[in-house]
Chain A
Amino acid sequence: MATAATVPTRRKRAGAGTGSGLPRWVFLPAVVGGVFIVLPLIAMLARVQWSSFLGLITSESSVAALWLSLKTSTASTVLCVLLGTPMALVLARARFPGLRLARSLVLLPLVLPPVVGGIALIYTYGRQGLLGSSLEFLGLRIAFSTTAVVIAQTFVALPFLVLSLEGSLRTAGRRYEAVAATLGANPTTVLRRVTIPLVLPGLLSGAVLAFARALGEFGATLTFAGSLQGTTRTLPLEIYLQRETDPDAAVALSLVLVVVAVLIVLATRGRASEGSL
């Protein structure tokens, strides 16, 4: 009788805690990981000087940095969409030798330390660089300009858009495209009226991710574009600079970036669930 009584109890206990079918010990490291991410944000929030908060984030240098960050991140997101969409299309749809190698190379900025990316950009577009001398000849000086900021941000953000869009293209498959072709649509019409509308959620979330990456870009920007107020000093650079002289301002500006990041995450999650087929 004792066994008959314990069996249902045990079953009930196993089901009551989780309902997910996971072993219960998994929840412990999961919670530790969650705390690991959230705790620093709370710690930072605790240090915000709310009385001077508004003054700190509206100072001339802060506003200049924020404005520059938004401008350059928007510009690089547009560039990412214009260049990344065709790249994702080729990677997802075309078949040619070396495709796998091409995909790995495209994703390189994702794993490269940003400072290394910055150095690579210097030797490409810098005054002595591969293209830099030709550009100089044309009267274009890129290094240490706002253009350099946009280039650095595009360089690091592009893989995010390509990855996200390529995934959407693969998920969407080619069946609708085949139908459209047999209905008499030429490849450009198929792309414009079928492929792009179908992967629009993926394109949007890719663009938002690219924007977020561009907004947070630090290493490549500092290396390649420098830190000139109003020209190349974006918000992350401003925060790093302020940290030495005015920690309260650094914390306040960090909070601004956190808020922007949270908004972006919420936006992508919303889009992603909407777009799921």
Chain B
Amino acid sequence: MTKPQQSVRTVGALELQTTLEERGTDLDLRVRPGEVVAVLGANGAGKSTLLSLISGLIRPDTGRITLDGQVLVDIDRRVWVPAHQRGVVLLAQQALLFPHLTAAANVAFGPRSKGSSRRDAQAEAVRWLEAVDAVEFADRRPAQLSGGQAQRIAIARALAVDPALLLLDEPMSALDIAVAPALRQLLRKVLRDTGRTALLVTHDLIDALSLADRVVVLDAGRVVEDGPTRTVLSQPRSAFAARIAGVNLIAGTAEQHGLLTQDGTRLQGMLDPTCVIGQHAVAVFSPAAVAVHLTPPTGSPRNHLPVTVAELEARGEIIRVHAAGTVGGPGDLIADITAASAAGLELVPGKSVHFAVKATEVQIYPSRIV
């Protein structure tokens, strides 16, 4: 067991291999230090069970969980580390701020519980309230806070205990759609600035895109898909990921009104307000928004990308055109077109065509995808 260095955060290495019959789960998962892993899956797929197992709220029937080499659970060897000694914090859908404490006292709760003096805990609370831009709410009771404000305080409270692993259980899903982007931006900041290891359960493609390095898909209590965010979301193999994803993703850096890829291709699109010019971003567009042309379309406001047809896939009335980017260009892309137009274009694998997509169909989000 090597002691992690304080200066460079290398904590949060998780190894989990457990079964729990009651919830029908058989989970196997590894997380590298500093990694943010999005956990996707339908309701009842085992996402919340996974977080409860790691945080120590439920006990598996068999298996083992370790965090940074320390055994948290080992059923065979009868090891059980209780929740309060795990260094794992759970941030849930509801902020669950203690209703009888002020916002500042809520944030100070963790440090106080770990033995900090009242004064130190208070200073720590102020520091974290500043980090989440919520100092003005310090003396308020949870009942006097909006959902978004309360969730900010809950993030501060979670970070104040400096967890080795942060578990996020759909932290944005209970929020007003208007405040979710600001909170997502805040999470990006705190996850990136500190290089924190986190597991993020979500239903939202954008959460996964903008926060996660890696995506794990659960189905019926098992990991059915595990890979880099870009791969899982653009070429989903599982039915669930395909339902929420199956979109075109092009990585690059955000610029005014668009995205610049590494090879210099420019895409025009709708910039999400949370994008920062010059920072990593990803352009997302639906395959249905793509038109296929044999020659570059002229005099139109559309983006067009030269590609080579790789494969044609019949999906009922629709033909899905899988295409590989030209050398140095954007990666694999897909377009959904009618069978009639596919026939008219005489599409065959190996043929060079142009994918065109209107700027208004392209959404650009901040991302960790490189």
Contact = CB atoms under 8 A, between A and B. Distances in A.
Contacts of A190: 84
Interface in A165-222: 175-176, 178-187, 189-190, 193-194, 197-198, 200
- The size bracket of the interface on A is 20 to 34
B90 A182 contact: yes
A49 B122 CA distance: 62
Given A181-B83, A185-B113, 13 more contacts: A175-B92, A178-B55, A182-B83, A182-B90, A183-B158, A184-B85, A184-B87, A184-B113, A185-B84, A187-B84, A189-B113, A197-B100, A200-B100
A125 to B, nearest CB: 40
Nearest to B54: A182
A176 B113 contact: no
B82 A179 contact: no
B109 interface: yes
Contact of A198 (B57, B87, B100, B113): B100
Interface string B82-122: 11111111101010101110000000011001100000000
A182 B113 contact: no
B84 A181 contact: yes
8 contacts: A178-B55, A178-B57, A180-B113, A181-B57, A182-B90, A184-B87, A189-B113, A193-B98
Contact of B56 (A176, A181, A183, A185): A181
B84 A179 contact: no
B161 interface: yes
A184 B85 CA distance: 6
Contacts of A183: 84, 89, 109-110, 113, 157-158, 161
Contacts of B85: 184
A198 B89 contact: no
Interface string A92-108: 00000000000000000
Given A189-B113, A193-B109, A182 B86 contact: yes
A165 to B, nearest CB: 16
A176 B89 CA distance: 13
A181 B114 CA distance: 11
Contacts of A277: 99
Contact of A176 (B57, B98, B110, B114): B98
Q: Lowest 6 CB-CB distances: which A-B pairs, in order?
A: A185-B113, A181-B83, A183-B110, A197-B100, A184-B113, A181-B84
Given A194-B98, A197-B100, A182 B109 contact: no
A186 B84 contact: yes
Most-contacted residue by chain A among B55, B83, B90 (CB, 10 A): B83
A138 to B, nearest CB: 41
B175 to A, nearest CB: 18
B82 A181 contact: yes
A181 B84 CA distance: 5
Contacts of A180: 98, 109, 113
A182 B100 contact: no
- The size bracket of the interface on B is 20 to 34
Contacts of A189: 113
Interface of A: 175-176, 178-187, 189-190, 193-194, 197-198, 200, 277
B56 to A, nearest CB: 7
A197 B56 CA distance: 24
Contacts of B88: 182
Nearest to A186: B84
Nearest to B109: A183
B114 A184 contact: yes
A198 B82 CA distance: 22
A276 to B, nearest CB: 12
A178 B98 CA distance: 11
A178 B89 CA distance: 10
B277 to A, nearest CB: 37
Most-contacted residue by chain B among A176, A179, A189, A194 (CB, 10 A): A179
Nearest to B167: A182
B114 to A, nearest CB: 5
Contacts of B99: 198, 277
A182 B114 contact: no
B149 to A, nearest CB: 17
B71 to A, nearest CB: 18
A184 B100 contact: no
B110 A184 contact: yes
Interface string B47-66: 00000000111000000000
Most-contacted residue by chain A among B88, B100, B158 (CB, 10 A): B100
A74 B268 CA distance: 77
Contacts of A176: 96, 98
Interface string B162-197: 000000000000000000000000000000000000
Contacts of A200: 100
A203 to B, nearest CB: 13
Interface string B212-248: 0000000000000000000000000000000000000
Nearest to A185: B113
A207 to B, nearest CB: 18
Given A189-B113, A193-B109, A182 B98 contact: no
Given A189-B113, A193-B109, A182 B56 contact: yes
A200 to B, nearest CB: 8
B337 to A, nearest CB: 50
Contacts of A198: 98-100
Contacts of B90: 178-179, 182
A228 to B, nearest CB: 45
B84 to A, nearest CB: 5
A178 B100 contact: no
Contacts of B98: 176, 179-180, 193-194, 197-198
Nearest to B162: A184
Contact of A184 (B57, B84, B94, B96): B84
